[in-house]
Amino acid sequence: MTKNNPNRRSFLKSSALGMGACLFPGIIPSTVLGRDGAVAPSNKIGIGCVGMGMMGPGNMGQFLNMDDVQVVGVADIDKNALAGGLNQVKGRYGQACQSYHEYREMFARKDIDAVMLAVPDHWHAIAAIDAAKAGLDIYGEKPLSHTFEEGLAMCKAVERYGRIWQTGSWQRSESNFRIGAELVRNGRIGKLQNVEVGLPSGYGLFGGSSDTTVMEAPATLDYDRWLGPAPYMPYSPARVHRVWRWNYDYGGGQLMDWVGHHVDIAHWGMGMDESGPVEVYGTGDFSETTKVWNAASKYNVTAKYANGVVLHIADSTQTPMGTKWIGDQGWIYVDRGNVIRSSNSEILKETVGAGEIKLYDSKNHWRNFIDCIKTRQATITPCQTAHRSATVGHLGLISIKLGGRKIKFDPVAQKIIGDFTARRMLGTSMRSPWKI
């Protein structure tokens, strides 16, 4: 069964009013009604937050600062991370919320409308589908999925259970990226021919550890559950927190870690949010791998589309970070830090007029999610959109693992054409008892 959010809110509102009348006959507190700038409890979005490692605290902080949102629970299988999350909530509300080791217990609460998921990639599909089945709207980190097939399953679950989904591809809510994509879509650089995307190289620590020593997992971490659907491997610090992304059992290296950012923006300007490439091939450099980290530290991927546009993705040792659209009449380049440049600076002064393509305008990525929960309208980065941009990375990674083999792809049927080995790599088996 799925939660019916509007009906539950109506019930809470009537219950709150009744409670106020019983406690104080003839008097209903203004905070219950939402007067004097206060948000009535019945109008607040209850959200549970899963994952208090790298991205979770920042995402949760955004929701904590919204008056119409209440963080009602925090879940993590690492006791230290969980304590940090609870302290963050206490610092905002003056008291901590409920804590959970098992996120499914939190999903069963009656006062929860949505969840924020910031878990390792290999947990994305299981947690997201569990949330959808529980009738919860979902803010999920990028990349959308660990494998292509998991991404398809996530999108099907979101659609089947009627959930609102927002991907953490927050660059879409930054004006320079939207303006650049919008100008490209409206032909300001002529006919689009090529797109160049630069992503990071190497292995970042992000405060994690590069220690590959095999040892007993700390008592504060439920390591077996952290592994979840991934193959069993002995614990070492370089396998888990923050640096898991450099092992293909849990992440996808820098390519997949960033595909939901600059490749997502590239697709936006290309008009490919509902389509994808017809051919992908790539190569990778594995010379820096360790006993634990097996992802390519450098990579080069080319994706060709049916309209003739060629998307080239490479690490930052080969291509500058950011997205550059190249047309037959010029180019536009965007990057973080509000960077937007063009071969003709006058192009950037132009406005998009009536009758032209206007892209989704979100001023705040997390606010957009909450607003869409209320309106039931699509977010700026819904599940299918995130799946399409992640697909380029998934196919590129398959090609890299196959030594640069060209992958033919049908973007309508979303299937690899004529390559049994490559098709098998669209998904992966899960360690029992985990499944989607």
> How many CB atoms neighbour CB 345 within 10 A?
8
What CATH fold (topology level) applies to the domain 174-358+382-424?
Answer: Dihydrodipicolinate Reductase; domain 2 (3.30.360)
Please report the pLDDT score of residue 245 as a whole number. 98
325 by DSSP, 3-state: which? strand
CA 59/CA 88 separation, integer angstroms:
12
pTM check: above 0.85: yes
- Tell me which DSSP letter residue 216 carries: P
What does the pLDDT read at residue 3?
Answer: 55
Q: What pLDDT was estimated at residue 232?
A: 98
Secondary structure (DSSP) of 14-35:
HHHHHHHHHHSTT---HHHHT-
Task: Give the single-character DSSP code of 259.
Answer: I
- Report the pLDDT value the prediction gives residue 17, as an integer from 0 to 100: 37
Residue 258's SS3 state is: helix
* Per-state percent for the chain, helix, strand, coil, to nearest 5: 40, 20, 45
Question: Which pLDDT score is estimated for 39?
Answer: 61
Would you state the CATH architecture of domain 5-171? Answer: 3-Layer(aba) Sandwich (3.40)
Measured torsion, CA atoms of residues 327, 361, 278, 311, in degrees rounded to the nearest 10 = 40
Per-residue pLDDT of the chain (436 residues; tens, 9 = 90+): 345 454 444 433 443 333 333 333 333 333 333 434 556 566 899 999 999 999 999 999 999 999 999 999 999 999 999 999 999 999 999 999 999 999 999 999 999 999 999 999 999 999 999 999 999 999 999 999 999 999 999 999 999 999 999 999 999 999 999 999 999 999 999 999 999 999 999 999 999 999 999 999 999 999 999 999 999 999 999 999 999 999 999 999 999 999 999 999 999 999 999 999 999 999 999 999 999 999 999 999 999 999 999 999 999 999 999 999 999 999 999 999 999 999 999 999 999 999 999 999 999 999 999 999 999 999 999 999 999 999 999 999 999 999 999 999 999 999 999 999 999 999 999 999 999 9
Spatial separation of the C-alpha atoms in residues 243 and 238, rounded to whole Å:
6
- Rounded distance between C-alpha atoms, residue 184 and residue 26, angstroms: 61
One-letter amino acid identity for 112? Answer: I
Give Cα 388 to chain centroid, integer Å: 12
Q: What is the pLDDT of residue 43?
A: 82
The domain spans of the chain are 5-171, 174-358+382-424
pLDDT for 138 equals 99
Report the C-alpha gap between 367 and 364 in whole angstroms. 5
Instruction: Specify whether the backbone of 187 is left (phi greater than 0), alpha (psi in -120 to 50) or beta.
Output: left
List C-alpha distances in Å: 84 to 24, 237, 259, 280. 38, 19, 29, 42
